[in-house]
Amino acid sequence: MDPRQARSRTSPLLPLSLASGGVWGLIALGLGWSWLHQRVWGGVLLAPLIGLGVGLAARGFSRLPGWGRALHALVALYVAAALFGLGVGLWDLLVLDIPGRRPGAVVLQAIYGVLWGTTFTGYVVLLWPLSIANHALLARATRRAA
């Protein structure tokens, strides 16, 4: 395969994944501001890169069976939430520096908090179908470009 053909196949995936991550960041900003306050900005700023990673990991999504797509989208949602929590924790540690805290604990607390909040607030019920739809739209756009 010609390298230009390979590049044209993946080229829409990169900008769409970055944009998708930005949209997910805005969703997280709306859902998370009430309990994360300014800490949420760390995850929001990292969201396009998280979207890029999730988009690249989702190549081949359309070839999975239905249950495989649902499972993949759920795992991707939780990996993305953990990475979002990492951004929140790093922002808390570096920007909202409060003396006397353990750096590792600050970051891990944010990761666990985002994962806990995603699950036990019930947001996963809303976000999982959105994740499936997002993956399907990225797969569709990539297929059309191929």
Using 50, 70 and 90 to split pLDDT, how confident is the model at 10?
very low
| pLDDT, tens digit, 9 for 90 and up, residues 57-88 | 998 898 999 999 999 999 999 999 999 999 99
First-to-last CA distance in the chain?
13
- Left (φ > 0), alpha (ψ -120 to 50) or beta: where does 65 sit? beta
pLDDT of 5 strictly over 60: no
3 confidence band (pLDDT: 50, 70, 90): low
DSSP letter (8 states) at residue 3: H
For residue 129, which amino acid is it?
Answer: P
Cα-based distances in Å from 39 to 61, 116, 125, 146: 32, 16, 24, 40
* Chain segment 115-130, per-residue pLDDT in tens: 999 999 999 999 999 9
* Whether pLDDT at 20 is above 90: yes
CB atoms within 10 A of CB 128: 17
**What mean pLDDT value characterizes the chain?**
91
Q: Please state the domain extents for the chain.
A: 3-145
Out of 45-54, 65-74, 88-97, 106-115, which region has the weakest mean confidence (pLDDT)? 88-97
Task: Please check whether residue 82 is in contact with residue 115, taking contact to mean a CB–CB distance below 8 angstroms.
Answer: yes
Which tokens in the block code for residue 122? Answer: 């019930």
Residue 145 pLDDT greater than 90, yes or no: no
Q: Is pLDDT at 41 greater than 50 in this prediction?
A: yes
Give the helix ranges, DSSP H, for the chain: 3-10, 13-36, 40-57, 66-94, 103-120, 123-145
